[in-house]
Amino acid sequence: MSSAFTPEQWAYLEAHKNDSRVYDIHWFYSVPIPVSVLSTAFRLWAKKAGKNGITLDDYLIIFATICLVGECASGLGYGPPHGMGRHITAVSAENLKIFRKGDYVFSHFYDLALGSVKLAILAFYYRVFIVPIFQYVVLATAAFIVCWEIAITTTLAVVCRPINAFWDDNVKGTCLNLVTFTYFTNISNLATDIWIFLLPIPVILRLQLPLTKKLALCAIFSVGLATCVVSAIRITVVLGHGSPDFTWATVPLGAYSVFEPLGGILCTNLPIIWHMYRKIHSPLKNHLSSGQTHSSRPSRPSRRPSSLDESLNRWLPLPATNSQVELTQDGKGLHMDPTVMRPTPAAFWNRVEGKGEDEEVGIALPMHSIVVERGFKTEVTRSPESKPEHPGMRKNVYEVRKR
């Protein structure tokens, strides 16, 4: 092992033998697990609350979340306990072998998580944007991503012949150049990310919407470009794979390898969660604001009868007379009826609910009272040759009050 380092490098490693990045590894492999699981769980809750059902993009995001959890778990299980985060001079040969096995598993989870996120975003585009030409482009892009994923996974599976030469230095075999392979994976991944996240922008700009809403939609669908930034930064640390002190140098590469798929999962989940939050929060906010408005206004009697009052009979006390008077409409005019009945509560609610039931069981009115039925039109129909039986009689309660 000492032949891989210059005397100066070897002296540096011996001087910093006790340095450790284990704490950093623990937090950046631990945080993505609850964040990804919770965001996907909230996404499924939002889909269920909106009664939209589980679609293909949801299943793909679930699979991507499982792959990300597996990636982080393999990083935690095979990393710090077996030398990751420490200089290679402080790690035993047996721990190096276990660490490399974990790196092999970790890389497979990483590739599967990336491919699943890309396909989930494309499935979401296909479901939301019902534009035939755009959907054809989405399908073509999805086909390319599937082929890309198969090629990457297959190449990684046979990166060494025999495969145990990947983690065991004592096994003689041939392996691909990991630095070159990782560069190819990252550059192609970055190119497809940029293409996917810019894909819906032309369709959004052609929508019949105000400019502000178009820009807002473009911003929402372009949030995933932050993932492209992570991919670009990851390219700068790829050389850690080729470093002789790889247990120390691959720590930044491992961090970006988990946050890159995490960013894709969040960019896919958050718009759906935010949409459902606004859908639930807006009616509640309107209800609370309307309640505060009503409570802040002082109660005072209305000058005009309410719509509910207008649909019912109005009882007005008048000066004493020798008879009871009911105003009705029979197509010929107004007439006197000495037996006046007051509607029962059942008839009241039937009229309020609009059931149109006219059956009323009544009780006799008190003496010296008059009831005005509001069910007639503004102008009372009269025969041409007859004169009103009660000239000067007001037609409605409002005019009686006004008089």
The third-level CATH classification (topology) of the domain covering 14-276 is Rhopdopsin 7-helix transmembrane proteins (1.20.1070)
pLDDT at 300: 52
pTM for this entry: 0.68
| Strand partners of residue 317 | 369
E strand intervals along 136-274: 160-161, 174-175
pLDDT for 278 equals 78
Q: What is the mean pLDDT of residues 146-160?
A: 93
Burial grade of 249 (CB within 10 A; 0-12, 13-18, 19 or more): middle
pLDDT at 1: 56
Q: What is the pLDDT of residue 251?
A: 92
Question: What are the sequence ranges of the domains in the chain?
Answer: 14-276, 308-403
Name the burial class of residue 297, with classes exposed (0-12), middle (13-18) and buried (19+) by CB atoms within 10 angstroms of its CB: exposed
Of 371 and 262, the one with more pLDDT? 262
**What are the φ/ψ torsions at residue 16 (nearest 5 degrees)?**
-110, 35
Query: Distance between CA atoms of 167 and 154, rounded to whole angstroms?
Result: 18
Which one of 103-117, 164-178, 261-275, 299-313 scores highest in mean pLDDT?
A: 103-117
- Fill in the amino acid letter for 352: V
pLDDT tens, 33-53?
999 999 999 999 988 887 778
Give me the pLDDT at residue 132, please: 92
Given this model, what pLDDT does residue 377 score? Answer: 47
pLDDT exceeds 70 at position 282: no
